[in-house]
Amino acid sequence: YSLVLTMWMPPLYAVLYDQVLPRMRGITSSIYLFAMTIIGLGIGPYAVGLVSDATHGDLATAILSVNWVAPAIVAMLVILALRVDRDQASLLDRTRAAGEKV
């Protein structure tokens, strides 16, 4: 279960690093990890607690109710996946515009 649950991580990092200039890979990963930590580890448990309080302490319902964000995340990832080829095609132009030697 844990293996399947995290299968999205290696391709995501590959796409993240492939879409930015080499000198920006460190800041890209740090921004991504910061955002995932704040959203996933900060807002997630807080939202579950709010729903649990609203449902009079039913923690099982609260945990299951936060799955409503999954369709929005899937839609966002599909939209971003459709942009990968276009972004990859413009990488060389963006590299030159940033002053990098190619």
pTM, entire model: 0.66
CA distance 102 to 92: 8
What is the dihedral sign for C-alpha 44, 29, 11, 85? positive
Q: How confident is the model over 24-50, as a mean pLDDT?
A: 90
Indicate the pLDDT class of residue 52, thresholds 50, 70 and 90: very high
H-only helix segments in 66-102: 69-89, 91-97
Instruction: Give the residue from 102, 92, 98, 101 showing the smallest Cα distance to 24.
Output: 98
Average pLDDT, the chain: 86
